[in-house]
Structure 1
Amino acid sequence: MKIKDILAKIRQLAPEENQSVWDNSGVQVAGVEAESFRVAVCLEPTPQMVEQCLEWGASVVVTHHPLYMKPKPLSSEGMFLDVVRQVLSSGAWLYAAHTSLDTRPGGPAFWLGKALKLRDTRVLEVEHGRVPVEASFYGKDPITRETADVWANREGVHSVSQTASGEVRVVCDEDAWDGVAAAIEFSLGLRPTFYLRSLSAPSRPIGFGEVGVLPRRMGWEKFLKKLGEVTGRETFAVSGPEPEAVKTVAYCGGSGASLVARAAGAGADVFVTGDMKYHAAVEAGTCVIDAGHFSLEEEMMRLFAGELDGALDGVEVKFFKGSDPFRLCAAS
């Protein structure tokens, strides 16, 4: 498969336009290979991990964390330069799906909410929203129900309708319009004259974390046990007041210490995240569970590898397991 087509699929699943302004999602190192039949997926672009991926024969390596956040000179000794040398000498491509993946609505970054079966969910911190557009046009003949269903089932389409006068109206996300227009043109065998207008409210909030309610209220100890089962952890660092029972849960994978106040304001009984900071813990107005940066995002990338595997025909996708950089050591 051509690498440009592989990158297009990655960008479809982790839209670069959704990334935060401070981020560096996208191509980290542009290779010279034009085709690839093996794509490796992992959390961290460390020399050890990249070496495993390249030895397996990957021509595209997809990581979550970027190789760099700000441009660095190629005289910067250390992990950065080691990885650049590895990738360039192999001819492979290195790509990072960072906040572009973190913020994709319903994407693998929201796996914890699905595992806990949260309901009535909403984004915890909204970065921006996708504004829907309404497109209208007049067709020579009425559209059939089958054709309308084909258009309506496209990603980003909200509704398809036709008036008695023959006017067809399609409401879809703005960023999905080009694909929808192409599908309409293909179905009709011609490109009609479209009339477009933006609607007033964002239809899809794009952002970090989620808050929702459990199917049923759980006692504190029972909730901790359930969280341990879905994350694979036996211990957690907990700060803030422990609730007697848990009903509303907020979470954010990776480093979410800055969202504690938002979680409290959303009425969360607990906030699950990684990389909880000391002063944020001291000032926490709600119970915070530090489940570890690694455990939350390692699972996200495993799920992302599964998505890529299903989207890339004729390409083998392999997830490479990482290891938590933190470990427990006894002083005795």
Structure 2
Amino acid sequence: MKIKDILVEIRALAPEDGQSAWDNCGVQVAGTLTEADKVAVCLEPTPAMVGACLDWGAGAVVTHHPLYMKPVSLGTPGRVLDVARRVMADGAWLYAAHTSLDVRPGGPAFWLGSELGLRGTQILEKAHTRCPVEASFYLDEPVSRATADIWARRASIHSVSQSGTGEVRVVCDEADWPAVAEAIVFAVGSRPVFYLRTLFAPCDAVGFGEVGDLPEPMDFDAFSALLDRLLPAHARGYWTVSGPQPERVARVGYCGGSGSDLVTAAAKAGADVFITGDMKYHAAVEAGVCVLDVGHFSLEEEMMRRFAQELSGRLSGVEVRFFVGSDPFRVRVRQ
């Protein structure tokens, strides 16, 4: 499969316009390969992990965390240089889907809420508001029902219509418009003149973290046992509790990765517990809600495993493999 088509599908699952201003999503290293039949997915772009992906034969490696947040000179020895050297030597591509994936509505970053069956969910921290675009263009011939159905089956397309004068109108998610445009060009055999306008409805807010209600309230110990079962095996039983512990849990907030900044938002949203990683001492002292710090790695490792499954379903003829990482924190038990 052509690399450019692989990138289209990755961006459809993690739209780059959703990333935070401070982030570095997208292509980290542009390779020389034009096609790939293997794509590797992992959490962290360490030299060892990227090396394992390339040894497997990956033509593209998709990570969650970027290779760098701020530009790093390739004259500086260290991790960035080591990864760049190896990727470039293989002609491979390195891509990061970081906050662009974190905020995708219904995406794998929200796997925990899905597994808990949370109802009436709402975003804890809004990052962007996405509104669709309407693209209009003219065709001399009517769009066939089969072609219109093919376009409409794309998840990002809301409607397809054609007037008696030949004007075709397609309403789709703004982030997916480049891919939709290419699909239209392929179907009609030429590139029409597109006229675009942003619509004000329906618009969706996207952002970080989520809060919602459990199907049935549970006592705290029962909820803790349920959470343990959902976490990766290495993290079960090795997480901390801070803030006021409730007797029962009915409303749950969570944010994968480093979500300690959302503790106050979770409390204001009425959460009985807030699940995240990277909780700090002073934040724990001042927490107005019970915080369960299950670790940065455990929530995001599972997210990327699910992302790999999503990507596999979109890349025809390409083998997608998730490479299991390792938590940089190790628990030492003294005998």
TM-score range, shorter chain: 0.7 to 0.9
Contact 2:12 2:175 in 1 (8 A): no
Aligned mates of 1:7, 1:170 — CA distance in 2: 23
Corresponding residue for 2:265?
262
Other structure's SS at 1:209 match: strand
> Is structure 2 residue 284 aligned with structure 1 residue 272?
no
Give unmatched runs, 5+ long, in structure 1.
none
Other structure's SS at 2:7 match: helix
Code of the residue aligned with 2:36 in structure 1: it is S
Give the aligned CA root-mean-square deviation in angstroms.
3.1
Give the C-alpha shift of residue 50 in structure 1.
1.2
Corresponding residue for 2:60?
60
* Percent identical residues: 65
Aligned mates of 1:85, 1:302 — CA distance in 2: 26
> Is structure 2 residue 128 aligned with structure 1 residue 128?
yes
Runs of 4+ deviating beyond 3 Å: 132-154, 157-163, 166-202
**TM-score, with length taken from structure 2:** 0.86
> Is structure 2 residue 119 aligned with structure 1 residue 84?
no
Code of the residue aligned with 2:269 in structure 1: it is A
> Is structure 2 residue 221 aligned with structure 1 residue 237?
no
Contact 2:12 2:176 in 1 (8 A): no
Aligned residues: 332
In structure 2, relative to structure 1, the CA distance for the partners of 1:59 and 1:123 (3 Å cut) is same
Code of the residue aligned with 1:109 in structure 2: it is A
Aligned mates of 2:103, 2:240 — CA distance in 1: 25
**TM-score, with length taken from structure 1:** 0.87
Other structure's SS at 1:317 match: strand
Equivalent residue for 1:297, pick from 291, 300, 308: 300
Give the C-alpha shift of residue 38 in structure 1.
1.1
Aligned mates of 1:38, 1:108 — CA distance in 2: 21
Give unmatched runs, 5+ long, in structure 2.
none
Aligned mates of 1:33, 1:187 — CA distance in 2: 27
Other structure's SS at 2:291 match: strand
Deviation sequence 1:132-169 (CA, Å, 0-9, x none): 35678999999999887665543234456899xx9998
Code of the residue aligned with 1:242 in structure 2: it is Q
Aligned mates of 1:82, 1:193 — CA distance in 2: 45
Give the C-alpha shift of residue 225 in structure 1.
0.4
Aligned mates of 1:118, 1:281 — CA distance in 2: 25
In structure 2, relative to structure 1, the CA distance for the partners of 1:66 and 1:223 (3 Å cut) is same
In structure 2, relative to structure 1, the CA distance for the partners of 1:185 and 1:289 (3 Å cut) is same
Contact 1:102 1:109 in 2 (8 A): yes
> Is structure 2 residue 19 aligned with structure 1 residue 16?
no
In structure 2, relative to structure 1, the CA distance for the partners of 1:191 and 1:78 (3 Å cut) is closer
Contact 1:16 1:100 in 2 (8 A): yes
Corresponding residue for 1:218?
218
Give the C-alpha shift of residue 276 in structure 1.
0.9
> How is 1:195-214 mapped onto 2 (pairs within 5 angstroms)?
198-200=198-200, 203-214=203-214
Contact 1:273 1:293 in 2 (8 A): yes
Give the C-alpha shift of residue 78 in structure 1.
1.6
Give the C-alpha shift of residue 256 in structure 1.
0.3
Equivalent residue for 1:308, pick from 301, 306, 311: 311
In structure 2, relative to structure 1, the CA distance for the partners of 1:120 and 1:32 (3 Å cut) is same
